[in-house]
Structure 1
Amino acid sequence: MEAGSDLRLILGSGGRPYPVRMVAGAWDWLRRKKPLVDAFYAMPLVVFSAPSLVGGHHGIGAWGLALLTFGLLAPLVLRRTFPRAVFATVALISAVQCLVGVEPVQANIAVLMGLYTVTASNSFRWGLAAALVAELGALLVTVRYPNSADDRKYVFAMLTVVVAGVWLLGLHMRTRRAYLRSVEERAERLERERDNEVKMAMAAERARIARELHDVVAHNVSVIVVQADGASYAIDTDVGRARQALDTISSTGRLALAEMRRLLGVLREDDDAGAFAPQPGVAELAELVEHVRASGLAVAFEVDGTPAPMSEGRQLTVYRIVQEALTNTLKHGGPRAAVAIRLRYTGDALEVRVDDDGRGAAAPDDGRGHGIAGMRERVAVYGGTVHAGPRPGGGFEVLARIPVREEVAAS
């Protein structure tokens, strides 16, 4: 037999050793059988009372003593199921026993067990009432049975201490159980809150992926459409240009598929996030510009100022803003549109300006785009601002200001 089979045989299907699973199962079963457990706890008292049942006790025969013992101990089987009824029963039997003059027997300890159960499992008022009843029984015992004055004081004090000790023990267990219940409820509440936070984080991640997919798909599909149109016009007159357009379509399609696999891969639980390609940043803008120029759109790219170090998230935001602006120009700018991209570093912020001379406000809008809203959401994360709209002289303008450091965004 293989080692893995031996280990599964020892641990079982649940991953825990069989003895542990058996003990846990037996304990769960016993917790559901309260009368059986209470009967088990009452057995020592039955054994303790057995010797006195042999020859009778103080004026009553063996059968009478057995009947009294049974009447006191039998209700204990249901002491946790009906605690107040059981305590009332054993207290009433003990009171009748005292009134008819039968001296206390070992089974009278059932009164203390009933007192403990009522105090531990009921409210404070019921526990206090049970303690007063037990103390009244101690007073009856002291008065009813002949003793000297000193003996009566000693017996009453001893019985009072016993009753108070049992009552305090019941209070302690009641408080402890309430504390444990509160801890369990708090743990369940924290677990629910953690699950809700995980769900919220997953929803936010899905929203981020949706924005990423919009940027990737919209930009690359726009490039593919433009190139396909160019290839269809040039296929009869300029085969070389048509072939170049088809090559651009092929490379753009592969790039789009690669980015979509990377973005959608985060939704797969068994994937390794470290295997994904790094997110694009400011350094990749030149490659993006060249890619768009290859599609036939005239693009001017300029950088002013000294580039400041920025986090990967901010660089990705800059890249997506420029990508979305170029996509809008490809979709709505018209066939002869030109674009000017300018990055200006001002020390504590980066200004991104993308202007085109296309149709601007005259461009048709299908109402389905979310690019500008996505820009605002991205920039708002880092405390920046975005303005996007038609220019007064024609064309369209996108102007974004992104703080390069957290302290700048906070101020």
Structure 2
Amino acid sequence: MGPYAGRMVVKAWDWLRRRKPLVDAFFVAPIMLFSITELWSDAFDIGRGAFFAVTVGLTGPMILRRTYPRTMFAAVAMVSCVQCLLSVNPVPANMTVLMGLYTVTAGYSFRWGLAALTCSVLGAGMLTWRYPSGAEDRESTFFTLAVIVAGVWLLGLHMRTRRAYLRSVEERAERLERERDNEVKVAMAAERARIARELHDVVAHNVSVIVVQADGASYAIDTDVGRARQALEAISTTGRLALAEMRRLLGVLRETDDVSAFAPQPGVAQLDDLVEQVRSSGLAVTFEVDGTPAAMSEGRQLTVYRIVQEALTNTLKHGGPRVAVSVRLRYSEEALEIRVDDDGRGAAAIDDGRGHGLAGMRERVAVYGGSIRAGPCSGGGFQVVAQIPVREEVGAA
């Protein structure tokens, strides 16, 4: 069986599992067919009308065997009781009582299973003493029927216990998986904290050495050129060592592949490429820049890029079909305003609660002392407005 056939079988099985009455009708169909074939035989000394009525009364409720098990068993037991009181001979469909006993015992508590067993044993007693036969035949018949009923009841108990065991195993496996994931997250957080401490030590130590050597070189450059050259060589060596250590430590924290591990981080200059990429996915995007772009640090540029990227991603995920979005950057002397507006679903969009994009944007903006406002608009659509200071002293103020 190929992969495609396997997927089709799984889909068909899932489809059937969601339609319990159809599956139950499939299982009760052989009893119905067998009863219909016996309808024209002389094996049962009753009228065809009574035979048909009893058969339908016993097999009809079985369509709801797993949907309403207790109601089904009560209906089948009632039909069998009326059949016995009217002295209608047993028919092949009477075995549905055993099927109902198994279903109730396997699907409900022990008390319900015991009640179904008691009802079935009483039915066996009525069947034995209602129809004429010898005393010894009655005892042997009742004993045989009681053994069959007890066997079906024990099978239902076994299946109930097995299902409970399987559920407990599944719950335990899920709990262990969650605990394992939590342990992995805790271990990763501890490792990242350790790497951060090591990175701090590497940077602090090497930068301090560079500063000292640079001061020494500035003092000795006029009086002792050789010593100044040695200081510059020490600066170069220390800088290379610091870069190597930083790359080694940061490489552990990166989640990308080795090819892009040391690629430059995106900034404002890469927003055009981002917009073109989003347009190629079918989203109508307009991009405008007002004012003179100010010189910003790479960290601030990365924050701008990530905010625009996250806003466009949210529009793609929640905006709906045929949505249009505009991205505007407005530069001033002190801050850069980022405004992303779309005309999508807005407040009507379904939130799965799994995203952390808005929280991430707030954290990025807060690092540089900025502010951000994100939410649905009153007339529809969604808006993201962020203010990022272009200079460090503005953010500190």
- Give TM-score scaled by structure 2 length: 0.62
The yes-or-no answer on 1:156 pairing with 2:142 is: yes
1:70-116 CA deviation, whole Å, 9 max, x = no partner?
A: 11101111111111000000000110111011011110111110000
The yes-or-no answer on 1:135 pairing with 2:160 is: no
Cα distance between partner residues in 2 of 1:234 and 1:35: 94
Aligned with residue 33 of structure 2, among 47, 59, 67: 47
Seq. identity, %: 72
Unaligned runs of 5+ in 2: 259-397
State the shift of 1:58 in Å.
Answer: 5.8
Counterpart mapping for 1:139-288 below 5 A: 139-269=125-255
Q: Report how many residues are paired.
A: 258
1:180-209 CA deviation, whole Å, 9 max, x = no partner?
A: 111111111111111111111111111210
Rg larger in 1 or in 2?
1
- Does structure 2 conserve the Cα–Cα contact (< 8 Å) formed by 1:38 and 1:76? yes
1:136-157 CA deviation, whole Å, 9 max, x = no partner?
A: 0001111111111111111111
1:330-373 CA deviation, whole Å, 9 max, x = no partner?
A: xxxxxxxxxxxxxxxxxxxxxxxxxxxxxxxxxxxxxxxxxxxx
Cα distance between partner residues in 2 of 1:84 and 1:111: 12
Aligned with residue 22 of structure 2, among 36, 39, 48: 36
- Does structure 2 conserve the Cα–Cα contact (< 8 Å) formed by 1:56 and 1:63? no
- Does structure 2 conserve the Cα–Cα contact (< 8 Å) formed by 1:56 and 1:62? no
Partner AA of 1:174 in structure 2: R
Question: Counterpart in 2 of 1:118?
Answer: 104
- Does structure 2 conserve the Cα–Cα contact (< 8 Å) formed by 1:55 and 1:61? no
Partner AA of 1:265 in structure 2: G
Partner AA of 2:74 in structure 1: A
Cα distance between partner residues in 1 of 2:106 and 2:158: 8
Q: Which runs of 4+ in 1 moved over 6 A?
A: none
Partner AA of 1:125 in structure 2: R
State the shift of 1:241 in Å.
Answer: 2.9
Cα distance between partner residues in 2 of 1:53 and 1:233: 117
Aligned with residue 71 of structure 1, among 57, 67, 72: 57
- Does structure 2 conserve the Cα–Cα contact (< 8 Å) formed by 1:76 and 1:110? yes
Partner AA of 2:17 in structure 1: R
Partner AA of 1:230 in structure 2: G
State the shift of 1:68 in Å.
Answer: 1.7
State the shift of 1:55 in Å.
Answer: 6.0
Shift in alpha-carbon separation, 1:56–1:89, aligned structure 2, 3 A = farther
1:281-300 CA deviation, whole Å, 9 max, x = no partner?
A: xxxxxxxxxxxxxxxxxxxx
Unaligned runs of 5+ in 1: 1-9, 12-16, 273-411
Cα distance between partner residues in 2 of 1:62 and 1:141: 21
Cα distance between partner residues in 2 of 1:59 and 1:149: 22
Partner AA of 1:86 in structure 2: M
- Does structure 1 conserve the Cα–Cα contact (< 8 Å) formed by 2:45 and 2:89? no
What is the RMSD computed on CA atoms of the aligned residues?
2.0
Cα distance between partner residues in 2 of 1:29 and 1:245: 76
